[in-house]
Chains A and B, each alone.
Chain A
Amino acid sequence: MSSPGITLEPARLPPVCEVLRSQVREFLSQELAAGRFTPCCDNWLGGFDPDFSRRLAARGWLGMTLPREYGGHGRTALERYVVTEELLAAGAPVAAHWVGDRQTGPSLLRYGTEEQKQFFLPKLVSGEVFFAIGMSEPGSGSDLASVRTRAERVDGGWAITGTKLWTSNAHRADWFFALCRSAPLGEDRHAGLSQFIIDLKSPGIRIRPVPILTGAHHFNEVVMDRVFVPDTRVLGQIGQGWQQVTSELAYERSGPERFMSTFPLLQELLRVVGDTPDERTAIAIGELAAELWALRRMSLSVAAALQRGEAPDVAAALVKDLGTRFESEVFERVRLLIDCAPSLAARRRIDLLLAQAVLHSPGFTLRGGTNEILRGVVARALGLR
């Protein structure tokens, strides 16, 4: 009987990564010392700070894996991994560039025209433009093939009509990729879908805020009424939207943000309990750290597979399922270990971080595909469906 299931090759980081890591740490401690950001839970969704993103860009830490000819830095996926995990561990406000850096850039590089690459990629690397994701709709969450936003052929381009929902930071981003139905729904639900690069300031677009549980405004409803998109802003091939989106999801699901959203809270727990915690607390810290360390090894393996040019979509789905459950496990354990009063108005840091973690938690296991859908991906790989 050989090894069943899904295998992950252990990965180790090359020495260049540790040099880079110390540079990022130095930068972050300077930023913190200067009071330029406050560490928060889930700040890769909530912390939209264009200036912070531009300071990262100035250090060469946006668009790291993009080729130099498009303004990128030609660095490896593992080097980018190190930068992202350091930013997440610090609870830094990275939401402005996160989507563009993580998936828009690689997607443009893979499917974009030469003109699109030359136009967008340098701006993405310098932090001049920010992207949002336009996949979900009122009627389609994880079931992306059911999108109903229509793209209609018009002179010189397409007219887009429909509504995108849960579009994080659409009110502050410049562009988004919208997945649309460009041909009537037929037998094959995955056919007839296309992606368009849409300027969020285009005539015909109305953006309505959809506040989340903290009261903050990240989500939006983006209503498009015959929004004109020129042929030059079609992404990839008309009708190939499903394949393109699927490859984008591998990037969306594989990163350390899928298990580190509540890391600032875990770190604050250590600060609050001090160097000689009671036995119950020490055990909880040990168990949470063990899960974190194991997840990190798994996530690094996925990053190394991406670096080798593989498509580790099943492994990424599995890590995201485990990782996002861990994110909630952190606050479920913390709240039972300390005398707490979670509140967004709290003066005590741990109460504030706990409040952020709890109120953001429903998103952890939804965004990027629900855990149930991800397990379906794993089950298929196991030959069960």
Chain B
Amino acid sequence: MAVEGAGLQDFSAVYVLQPVAAADWLVVAPVVWCILMGAVLLMLRKRTDLQPLIAIPALVVLALMTLGLLAHVLTSGTVTMTMGRWLPPFGISFTADLLGAFFAATSSLVALATGIYGRSDVDDSGRRYGFYPFLMLMMAGIIGAFLTGDIFNLYVWFEVLLISSFGLLVLGSERLQLDGGIKYAFLNLIATTLFLVATGYLYGLFGTLNMADIAVKASELRGTAPLMTLVALYLLAFAMKAAAFPVNFWLPASYHTPRLAVGGIFAGLLTKVGVYALLRILGMLFPVEREELSFIIAVAAALTMVLGVLGAMAQNDMRRAMGYLVISGIGMMMAGLALGSPAGLSGAIFYAAHSMVVMTALYFAVGIGAQLGGDFRLTASGGLYARSAAISALTLMLFFSVAGLPPFSGFWPKVMLVKASLDIGAWWLAAAMLLTGFLTTITVARIWVLAYWRPAKSEAEETAIVAPPAVGAVVALVGLVALTTAAGVWPEPLVVLAQDAARGLIDPSSYILSVFPGEAAQ
């Protein structure tokens, strides 16, 4: 099959003749599985009784696949699979490095919890609107974005998750949801179009869209090509996706309108895909330009976290307060990106994984609390502790975790980030982080005191439970709380994982070698 004769360049190496190793199939298996199960569920859309029975085992399989992929990447390094047996930069490759595999594994655990929680939270009409098919297809988009090694494909996966998230957002087509959905849809569409603009320029400059190829060529083009413009465009597009200040206003406008299961997985995963893209493109492909922009990113990060938590303090509706806490957490991750040091990036990676689990769990906890007490408004709620001490205790653990208090998982990445910013003398960034932690503590403490600790308005209401929470919802909540507690009391493996992932971003040589194995031999 190799090209014979005297060509200008010998491209015979681009033909891959040996079959793909069985374990390498894990790179694409999660995405293929999600699309397949999404299609099956879509066909059985009207059998609402069957939907969770198929979807939950499918999500268990997805979690096993991504955990298997993470184990495979941990033992044998970055894995690449190229479509159509054409080696890059010609073919399109899926590349799973430690960062992508770690995020994929965490997000599939969160999706599993959402599937279980959604069993009781999403009623028949929501299922007929397609909750489970959209959930599977959105996971295909999210995991595809984490694992793809091609920037144009990153755009395509963003669109896949976005169109599914539109479907999830308007599940039921209530007035509230349409109002929130239209702001979410328009602003996210503009952000992805900006991403496509930047990608068009990138293709014009580099002539390639493969991330490993770009990482190699960036140093050659630096100095002649307007890379700063390009990176600034990417920063704007992904900051909008990640809901960083000042392009974050779509998030508090829309995240409280869908069902709690949907709000939970949105809060957990969607903004983190933006953070992942920032880490990948700014952190790995254009480190020099990121360094130039680091002050702007740091200021945006500090404003995001402080203004986010101030927004949370001002809310009477618990769900809206949670939406602002999501924004505040994004600020912490942006701060890690701005620092750019191994410690900063690993802090950002750890914080992102922590935030995926905790923000989803917080939405679930608020949902169960509102079921017990019947209201999301702080002015109207109270007495949840008398109704269920166990749920209140679980919620308090999550509140501790989101505020970054030990022994829960929010504490360690915060320590890493504060130390990383003090190391380079950015005392104001460290101060913003600590101030955010303090204000978050006040915010969640007030929610806990008012909604949980405060006695109910009247004696009769004191122990009257509006609706007992479903077993599945509690199981999902307990599972996520167990994850954050385990990560908090035994953080060493995750810290090592995050540090290795950050090292892979700063020095992408193993990523490049995995995509271009031919160059290893030369």
Same complex: no
Residues of B within 8 A of A (CB): none
